[in-house]
Amino acid sequence: MTTQRVYIFKRFERFWHWTQAALIIFMMLTGFEVHGTYTLLGWAKAAQLHTNAAWALVALWVFAIFWHFTTGEWKQYIPTMEKVDVMVKYYVTGIFTDAPHPFRTTPLIKHNPLQRLAYLFVKLLINPLIWISGFAYLFYRDLGAIGLGGLPLAPIALVHTAAAFLMLIFFIAHIYLATAGHTPTAHIKAMIIGYEDVEDHGAAPAGKSAG
Amino acid sequence: MNLPPGTTWLKVAVTIMLATAFTAMPAAGASKSTADHSKFKELQQNFQSGPEVTKACLSCHTEAAKQVQKTKHWTWEYLNPENKQRLGKKNVINNFCIAVPSNYAACTACHIGYGWKDDKFDFTVETNVDCLACHDTTGSYLKLAGMAGHVPYKDMEYPPGSGSFVKATDLKKVAQKVGKTSRDTCGACHFNGGGGNAVKHGDLDTSLEAPDKELDVHMDSLGLNFTCATCHKTGGHDVAGSRYAPTAVDRKGAQVRGSEDRKNPATCQSCHGQAPHTKTAKLNDHTSKLACQTCHVPSFARGGIATKMSWDWSTAGKMGPDGKPMTVKDDKKHVIYDSKKGDFVLAENVTPEYIWFNGSVQYTLRGDPVEKSDQPTRINRFEGSPHDGKSVIWPVKVFRGQQPYDTVSKSLVILHTTGNDDASYWKHFNWEKAIAAGMASVGDTFSGKYDFVKTEMTWPITHMVAPKDKAVGCVECHKAGGRLEKIEGVYIPGRSRDHLGLLDTAGWSLAALTLFGVVVHGSLRIATRKKKD
């Protein structure tokens, strides 16, 4: 069995990932303080910094979206059900019996089919929920301009909180699954230095080729 | 330059700078008037009485008395156009000294007139108008209780039988030095409402005569130095702003010269507009639900003088060990019991209560039914709701007490307290006689049976505006159990009672479950790896 060093995550991608991670962690911390769950920075500061972080994330996303479309990387998130069962089976049994990881990372297919589904779920459900409710929260007194003048703050806050919980749950699972690569640190290392040492044991790339 | 030893040049520089600063600053109330009243021949006389001065004033200011006579300051009467209630000091019953009728000579020390000693007062006589009460600039014009609005015209013992003496008022001097109204002249009555300094309003007391910036950012005597009339802009002697018909909500922009006059130029918005927060724009989002005062008047009675918070008439009449009326003071020297009046609670730096308020006030007047119960009778009900589209959240002082009512007619009663006659409560402590005299003074009857009923009176808090860094902080409301805990109809981020309990429970449970799942999964991985090794 040989290992192969593969360049998976480009410099911008890594920058985007970690900046986004920091912002999201910070926004969860400040967000739940604004919600009233605990006192950490003080409400006023938490609310102000939560808003500032949101704008920073908006800026980051403008670049990320541009990058995804100009590089074609958006295709990494096209969902597939193919081999999802294999991945599930690996997480349920194979991982405990030292079975080979069923997915081999390549620069063209960075995410295993479960990751694709999970990230798509984040991008198509959690993020829109957060952004739409978040902007409504921020500009709720101006909602009249788009014909939603009568909308009270309570349902807006409710959706925003619900989305925050979804993000928190994703966050917990995501951190753990980051350790569930070929080796516990393989994914994390790849996200830091860009390269992943891929075991060449003949496992076929899962999912449709993105290229 | 001879300097004391140890004086540094820095000290000298600072001293010079300060001296320059103070010289450059215009003296408080510096007049830009084109008239020096001391040069007017009409005022070169030794006036014998207030009305004589008024006559001289009116010889030039021909319309002044007519204007004054149209105002509440003169009539002590106000007809609420909305609900047709007849209000004004002459008609309302409060839970302080209770009512004006039958006590005119005492109460009308704060009337801008001369001679209102009983219900025969002639409101049409122009020389009965007291110009000096508002336009004195000397501080020596003192209307004393019991003199029906007159000032001492000769040296006299006051209070009668007390052995203390007051000097005759120098009417000539006062008349020659008339000027604009000031915090002192307005305050002479409005700081002393309810029978003493700071008693009534809570946000108006003599600490505002020369306040610092901390106490009131606008009236700051070394800063903006507003007088009352700077906001309560007066035209034709009609003073803007009313407690009977308050402007609870003002949705207009800042008033520009030449723009349409607003009903009430005393609102914050009439200068500050609708979006005054430039640095933290999010604060402007609050103005649809909050009165400015809710954040900018963090507490009342902030000037070091305690205000009365409650007054229990039911305990009045207890005599001291010597059988004479007594007073009891607390360790801060506040009178907390007075045989004439009952028990008091006083407080300083009071956090207001908060209510939805739309500007409508409904009074419980004499004749309106009251019922003895644990639920207090509301002397004046501030109306409003989160849903009527015209209310905002206001800070208020709620003054609580117990006061007499007629148990047969079920009406609040007028109490004859002052004077030397045999019905005066403060002289003879006989409830039946005092109530009967009070009611008779307005042609009403008293069944002879009385008891005490709990009452509440609401006072809007609007003065004593703190500098912005001392305004109420976000977290004072954005938390569980904050200032607005009881306010319905708004979602306040951070106030846990607004949370949808199910969502929080489900959210945290699922997150915990996820965490549990990954911990178990991870542990199993570690366990199985060890076995292999």
Q: Do B514 and A169 touch (CB under 8 A)?
A: yes
Q: Find, among B173, B175, B193, the residue nearest to B107 by Cα.
A: B193
**pLDDT in single tens digits along all 211 residues of chain A:** 577 788 888 899 999 999 999 999 999 999 999 999 999 999 999 999 999 999 999 999 999 999 999 998 888 888 888 888 888 888 888 888 888 888 877 777 888 888 888 888 888 899 999 999 999 999 988 888 888 888 889 999 999 999 999 999 999 999 998 998 878 888 899 899 988 887 665 544 444 333 3
Nearest CA in chain B to A177: B518
Cα A193 to its chain centre, rounded Å, is 18
Q: Are A91 and B524 in contact (CB under 8 A)?
A: no
Residue A80 pLDDT: 81
CB contact under 8 A, B522 and A176: yes
List the single residue in A with minimal CA-CA distance to B508: A165
Considering CB atoms only, which of B490, B504, B511 is closest to A172?
B511
Distance from CA of A210 to the nearest CA of B (A): 30
pLDDT digits (tens, 9 = 90+) for B452-496: 999 999 999 999 999 999 999 999 999 999 999 999 999 999 999
- The strand pairing partners of B354, in sequence order, are B395
Q: What is the pLDDT of residue A116?
A: 82
- In this prediction, residues B312-329 reach a mean pLDDT of 96
B531 confidence band (pLDDT: 50, 70, 90): low
Beta strands in B128-219 (DSSP E): 156-157, 165-166
Answer whether A43 sits within 8 Å of B478, measured CB to CB.
yes
CB contact under 8 A, A51 and B282: yes
Which residues of chain A does B525 touch, with a Cβ-Cβ cutoff of 8 Å? 95-96, 180
Which residues between 85 and 114 in chain A have a beta carbon less than 8 angstroms from any beta carbon of chain B? 91, 95-98
Residue B23: CB atoms within 10 A of its CB come to 8
Give chain A positions within 8 Å (CB) of B282.
47, 51, 138
Test A157 with B288 for CB contact under 8 angstroms: no
What pTM was estimated for this model as a whole?
Answer: 0.89
Contact check, Cβ <8 Å, A173/B518: yes
Give B444: exposed, middle or buried? Use CB within 10 Å, 0-12, 13-18, 19+: middle
Whether pLDDT at B19 is above 60: no
Average pLDDT over residues B175-203: 96
* Average pLDDT of chain B to the nearest whole number: 92
pLDDT at B351: 98
Six-digit token string for B135: 């336009």
Chain A, nearest residue to B503 by Cα: A162
CA distance to partner chain B, nearest, from residue A131 (Å): 17
Cα angle: B513, vertex B518, B524; to 5 degrees: 125
What pLDDT, on a 0 to 100 scale, did the predictor assign at position A78?
Answer: 85
AA identity, residue A52: N
Name A195's bridge partners.
Answer: A7
Q: What is the pLDDT of residues B121-149, one digit of tens each?
A: 999 999 999 999 999 999 999 999 999 99
Burial B287-318 (b: 16+ CB within 10 A, else e): bebbbbbbbbbbbbbbbebbbbbbbbbeebbe
| Chain B hits for A51, Cβ within 8 Å | 282
* Token digits of residue B127: 């020389």
B282–A47 CB contact, under 8 Å: yes
Question: What's residue B30's pLDDT?
Answer: 58
The residue ranking higher by pLDDT, B70 or B259, is B70
What single string gives the DSSP state of each residue in B427-440?
Answer: HH--HHHHHHHHHH
Q: Is the pLDDT of residue B5 over 60?
A: no
Query: Beta-carbon neighbour count of residue B494 at 10 Å?
Result: 22
Residues of A in Cβ contact (< 8 Å) with B508: 165
CB contact under 8 A, B510 and A44: no
pLDDT at B52: 97
For B289, name the nearest residue in chain A, comparing CA atoms only.
A141
- Which of A47, A152, A172 is the closest to B514 by Cβ? A172
Using alpha carbons, select from B89, B111, B119, B95 the residue that is nearest to residue B413.
Answer: B95
CB B191 within 8 A of CB B206: yes
Domain layout of chain A by residue ranges: 2-20+51-200
pLDDT, position A1: 54
Q: Taking residues B504-521, what's their average pLDDT?
A: 96
**Alpha-carbon distance B290 to nearest alpha carbon in chain A (angstroms):** 13
Contact flag A162-B494 (C-beta cutoff 8 Å): no
Cβ of A35 and B494 within 8 Å? yes
Tell me which residue has tokens 């739409």: A132
Taking CA atoms, B348 is separated from A195, B140, B300, B302, in Å, by 68, 29, 7, 6
Which of B493, B508, B518 has the CB atom closest to A176's CB atom?
Answer: B518
| A-interface mutation test, from B485, B520, B521, most A Cβ less than 10 A away | B521
Judged by CB atoms closer than 8 Å, whether chains meet at B503 and A168 is answered as no
A19 vs B: CB within 8 A: no
CA–CA separation, B258 and B179 (whole Å)? 26
The answer to whether A162 contacts B480, with C-beta atoms less than 8 Å apart, is no
Res B7 pLDDT > 70: no
Choose among A43, A161, A172: nearest Cβ to B515. Answer: A172
B493:A158 CB<8 A: no
Q: Distance, in angstroms, between B295 CA and closest chain A CA?
A: 14
Residue of chain A minimizing CA distance to B481:
A36
**Do A96 and B524 lie within an 8 Å CB cutoff?**
yes
Q: What are the extents of the domains in chain B?
A: 41-255+264-472
Interface of A with B in 42-71 (CB under 8 A): 42-44, 47-48, 51
A–B CB contacts, 8 A cutoff, strictly below: 90
Helices A153-177 and B501-532: angle between axes, nearest 10 degrees: 0
DSSP B144: -
Q: B interface toward A at CB cutoff 8 Å?
A: 280, 282, 284-285, 288, 473-475, 478-480, 490-491, 493-496, 498-500, 503-504, 506-508, 510-511, 514-515, 517-518, 521-522, 524-525, 528-529, 532
pLDDT of residue A211: 34
* b/e map A43-75, b = 16+ CB within 10 Å: bbebbbbbbebbebbeeebeebeebbeeeebee
Per cent of chain B over pLDDT 70 is: 93
CA-wise closest residue to B507 among A131, A27, A28, A166: A166
**In chain A, which residues have their Cβ closer than 8 Å to the Cβ of B480?**
36
- In chain B, the residue whose alpha carbon lies closest to the alpha carbon of A51 is B282
Q: Can you state the percent helix, strand and coil of chain A, rounding each to 5?
A: 65, 5, 30
Instruction: Return the closest-CA partner of residue A170 out of A129, A110, A109, A211.
Output: A129
Condensed to tens digits (0 to 9), the pLDDT of residues B424-461 reads 999 999 999 999 999 999 999 999 999 999 999 999 99
